[in-house]
Structures are given as C-alpha cells and as structure tokens.
C-alpha cells in the first residue's frame, strides 16, 4: 500500500476559492484504494460550512513552539466521498470570514500550518510515503523535512512533491521576519535556497527542496523556464528541469455532464447535441432578454474579469465585435474597468451583449450548454478549466495558445478537417478578433464542419482519471 498525503490550503467540498480546491478534492477519489491510501490535510477554517464541520471528529491536540510561543494545534478527521481528510485547528490563525486575509498574516499562518502538519503526523495512524504539497501555502513542508524534522526515524525517507498551480503567488516576506516566524536559520536565507531579493520565499523553498515538481500543463512547465512567465524563478525552473513535469488538470465528469446536468434546460449527449444545444440557446436568449435568432453566433465568457484573462484585448475590439452578428454572454466579476466596459456595451447593444456581473453556478452551466463558442484569450493560463468544461458541452473554445489552453484545444484545420476549437498565438487584439471571425465564418458557412468539430470536442477525455494515471506514474517513480 502506497500512502500519499495531499497538503493544501483548500479542498472541495470543505473550502474553495479557485481551481486548486477542485484539484485537491477530486484527484484522491481516482486512485485504486487497494493500492493507494490518499488523504488530504488542510486548515480547519472557522468559515467552513457548519454541516461539513459536523462530519469532523476530534483526534488529538498538542502544543508546538512557533514564532517564540507555545501554540495550540488541534487535529480532527473526517471522511467525505470515500476520502479521508485531516484538519489542523488553531482559532487565532484560522478564524475569520475568509480563508485568506492580509498577505503578511497569511504567510505567518501557513508557516504555522506547514510545521503543524509535520508535528501532527507521528500522532496519527498514517505515515505517508509522499507528501504532495500544493502551491506556496505548503512550500515550507519540504524545507522543514530537510531541517528540523530530518533526524527522527518517523520522517526518514518521506518524499515530497511540489505542485505549482500559479507561479505568480509565492508567499514571500522580509527575510528577518521570515526567519523569526519560520524558525529557519540564516543558512536558508541565500539566493540558492529561500532568498529572493530582500525576502524569504515559501514557494521557492518548496521548489528547491522537493523531490519532484509538477505544474498543471506541459506548456506551462516549459513557459515557466522563461523570463516572461517565470516570475523571477525561471532560473530555478531551468535548474530543476529534470525534476519538473506538466500534468493537465481534469474536471469532474459527473458534475459537468450535459446528459444529467440539472442546471440546464435541455439535457443532451453527443448524438443529439446539435438540436438540444439549439434548444438551450433559445432558452438562454429568452432568459437573458437578448435578441432571438438560431443563427446568431453566441459566444460565452465565464471568468474573473482581469487583465490576465485577456480582457484588455476584448475591450479593444468590443466595438468591432458588436457590429457583427455575434452575441456575447458574460458571467463574472473582477476589475472595475472590465465590469464597467461590459455594462456599457450591454446598454448600447442589448440585443447582442448580456453582462452578468456576478457569479452563478447554474448560469455558468447554462452558458456552457447554450453557447456556440467560448472565448478565453488569456495572457497566461497555467491550466484553465473553463475550456475543458466547454469542450465537455460541445461549445467550441476560442483560445490564445498559452499554458493549458494550448495543450487542451486542438486548433481547427480547414484543409484536414481536424480540430476541437480555434486558437491564435500572439497576444494581440487583432489576432484575437480575426480568430473569432474565422470561427464565425465556419459556423455560418460550413455548419456541417462545425457540427463534426462539436462531436470531436465532446469525445475528448479530460476527466480526473486521465490526470490521476500520470500522478500515479510519478508516485511509483519516486517510491518504487
């Protein structure tokens, strides 16, 4: 039996602010339980749903020296959907209405969490062969294993994996404060270890000391070795290139299933998708109060409205797009300038633009099921999940070739008839617009080709099982 412990700041269903929680909560379910015992450790936030808290059972508690004080560490356990969760409890660190608050406080509380995870393990009936650390919040676990925990028999031979979900966020703070809080010595405050500029850096620590490194797509694994995408860590990524691999995220194929999805008006599968997607389109046009018309090219956007997601390109071309027979359905919140831009165009072109500046899970499913195409012109995208959901629903993605978008969407080739979507290479508004118009022309003039592409998109497999197989190969390689 191989024992794997996922360490993360969040995991579905207990806490979710982004795609990290989906990865951590979904992957363990995909491993053969006769060969792999995969568990999750995360903080016990006060803001976890009360019904989920009722599942937790007290296991033990102890006091741990941290930042010059003796601190309480409670340990609770729960089981959900066949997966065992371990919770680290400390009310001073994990209270409050949100899991993340002030940057400096977050760095301190996740330093505490990392030390508490390792301190708690000998008190549990679970000694992992591998601790799989997710993002900067768990970056000190490989460092502590190398430092104050290396002497004990219990910890000898435990391997670590560090997964980068987004390199932009790194968990850094002033090096003197970093040493005081973490308990790490000056030995670690050098540029070949944890130091980055004047700061100690939690993610860098994990990347230096982990036995293996993964990120969430093959292309992103290559991109972060370059200065543009490397966020100051590209040299380290190049140095550890032999230990770095990309494994594309998946989506829950039970949750995102057009055949059983209770959020959509008309359910469908690949065999009747053409007609049923049209029925869903009509229903969404009516619900949102935009112009009706079966042949109007409807493009969906479900996203955080930030520059990273390419909304500056869309803003530049919005006037021109609205002059064409195209409808845009937007769902999401983000930067004020982008929210206001979509509201403005929805006011000017109410037949063509629906700006839903909030978030709704049911409406997101309706957009995936109803639209003809889905637009994601991201500046960078480590993996991206929305394009996987749109493929699942037969809504063809229009993406920029970066990170996971490049790895998961095969661009349409009109000469060979291959492809599952449309893409452009340069981060350029005119290139994006031309690609949208190319997709529009195929939709209008070559509907048979479009429908074949829709079938191919729905036949793709981006379930978690495919991802789990690659993680399993890596675990077997690490521990034999």
114 contacts 93 by C-beta, under 8 angstroms: no
- Whether 136 contacts 109, CB under 8 Å: no
Residue 265 lies in a domain: no
Residue 260 lies in a domain: no
Instruction: Report the C-alpha gap between 235 and 202 in whole angstroms.
Output: 17
Instruction: Name the nearest CA neighbour of 392 among 261, 304, 240.
Output: 261
> Do residues 94 and 43 touch, judged by C-beta distance below 8 A?
yes
**pLDDT score of 456 more than 80:** yes
Q: Domain range for residue 210?
A: 2-250+465-479
244 with 333, same domain? no
What are the residues facing 14 on neighbouring strands? none
In which band, very low, low, confident or very high, does the pLDDT at 125 lie, cut at 50, 70 and 90?
A: confident
The pLDDT value recorded for residue 88 is 98
Q: Give the C-alpha separation, 272 to 258, whole Å.
A: 11
Q: Are residues 128 and 200 in the same domain?
A: yes
pLDDT in tens, 147-173: 989 877 899 999 999 999 999 999 999
Does 440 share its domain with 473? no
For 184-296, strand residue ranges (E) read 195-196, 199-201, 212-215, 244-246
Q: Is the pLDDT of residue 278 over 80?
A: yes
Same domain, 130 and 112: yes
Provide the edge-to-edge strand list for the sheet that holds 36-43.
57-66, 69-80, 83-89, 36-43, 2-7, 130-134, 159-164, 212-215, 244-246
pLDDT of residue 18: 81
At 233, is the pLDDT very low, low, confident or very high (cuts 50, 70, 90)? Answer: very high
Do the domain assignments include residue 261?
no
- CATH number of the domain at 324, please: 3.40.50.2000
Domain presence at residue 427:
yes
User: Are 327 and 180 contained in the same domain?
Assistant: no
Contacts of 37 (CB under 8 A, 6+ apart): 1, 2, 3, 4, 126
Q: Are residues 450 and 472 in the same domain?
A: no
Looking up tokens 């499913």 gives 365
Q: Are residues 81 and 98 in the same domain?
A: yes
Are residues 289 and 223 part of one domain? no
Q: Tell me, yes or no, whether 434 and 405 share the same domain.
A: yes
pLDDT confidence band for 107 (50 / 70 / 90): very high
Q: How many domains does the chain have?
A: 2
Residue 255, domain member (yes or no): no
Does the pLDDT value for residue 285 go beyond 90?
A: yes
Do 390 and 455 belong together in one domain? yes
In order of 391, 394, 451, the CA distances from 270 in angstroms are 11, 8, 10
Confidence at 22, pLDDT banded by 50, 70, 90: confident
Q: Per-residue pLDDT tens for 40-97?
A: 999 999 999 999 999 999 999 999 999 999 999 999 999 999 999 999 999 999 999 9
Task: Give the pLDDT score at 17.
Answer: 86
Tell me if 299 is assigned to some domain. Answer: yes
Can you point out the beta strands (E) in 90-193? Answer: 130-134, 159-164, 172-174
Residues 442 and 471 in one domain: no
Say whether both 423 and 471 belong to one domain: no
- Looking at the domain assignment, is residue 178 inside a domain? yes
């Amino acid at each position: 039996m191989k024992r794997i412990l996922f360490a993360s700041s969040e995991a579905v269903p207990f806490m979710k602010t982004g795609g990290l929680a989906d990865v951590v909560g979904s992957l363990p379910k995909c491993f053969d339980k006769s060969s792999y015992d995969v568990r999750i450790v995360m903080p016990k936030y006060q803001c976890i749903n009360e019904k989920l808290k009722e599942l937790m059972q007290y296991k033990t508690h102890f006091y741990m020296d941290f930042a010059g004080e003796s601190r309480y560490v409670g340990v609770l356990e729960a089981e959900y959907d066949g997966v065992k969760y371990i919770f680290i409890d400390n009310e001073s660190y994990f209270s409050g209405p949100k899991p993340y608050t002030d940057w400096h406080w977050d760095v301190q509380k996740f330093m505490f969490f990392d030390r508490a995870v390792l301190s708690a393990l000998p008190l549990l009936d679970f000694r992992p062969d591998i601790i799989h650390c997710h993002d900067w919040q768990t970056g000190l676990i490989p460092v502590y294993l190398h430092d104050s925990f290396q002497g004990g028999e219990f910890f000898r031979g435990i391997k670590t994996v560090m997964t980068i979900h987004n390199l932009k966020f790194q968990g850094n703070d002033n090096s003197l404060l970093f040493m005081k809080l973490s308990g790490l010595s000056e030995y670690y405050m050098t540029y070949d270890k944890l130091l980055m500029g004047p700061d100690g850096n939690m993610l860098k620590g994990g990347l230096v000391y982990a036995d293996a490194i993964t990120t969430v797509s093959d292309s992103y694994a290559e991109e972060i070795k370059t200065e543009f995408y490397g966020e100051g860590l590209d040299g380290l990524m190049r140095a550890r290139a032999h230990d770095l691999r990309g494994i594309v995220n998946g989506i829950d194929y039970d949750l995102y299933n057009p055949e059983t999805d209770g959020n959509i008006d008309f359910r469908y599968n690949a065999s009747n998708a053409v007609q049923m997607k049209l029925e869903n389109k009509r229903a969404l046009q009516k619900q949102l109060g935009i112009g009706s018309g079966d042949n109007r090219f409807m493009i969906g956007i479900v996203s955080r409205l930030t520059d990273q997601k390419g909304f500056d390109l869309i803003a530049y071309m919005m006037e021109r797009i609205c002059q064409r027979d195209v409808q845009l359905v937007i769902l999401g919140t983000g930067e004020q300038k982008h929210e206001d831009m979509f509201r403005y165009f929805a006011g000017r072109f109410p037949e063509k633009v629906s700006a839903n500046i909030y978030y709704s899970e049911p409406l997101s499913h309706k957009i995936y099921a109803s639209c003809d195409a889905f637009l994601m012109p991201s500046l960078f995208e480590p993996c991206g999940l929305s394009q996987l959901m749109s493929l699942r629903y037969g809504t063809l993605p229009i993406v920029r070739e970066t990170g996971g978008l490049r790895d998961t969407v095969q661009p349409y080739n009109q000469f060979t008839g291959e492809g599952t979507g449309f893409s452009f290479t340069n981060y350029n508004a005119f290139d994006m617009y031309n690609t949208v118009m190319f997709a529009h022309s195929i939709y209008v003039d070559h509907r048979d080709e479009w429908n074949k592409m829709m079938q191919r998109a729905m036949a793709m497999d981006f379930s978690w099982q495919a991802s789990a197989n690659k993680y399993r190969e890596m675990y077997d390689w690490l521990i034999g």
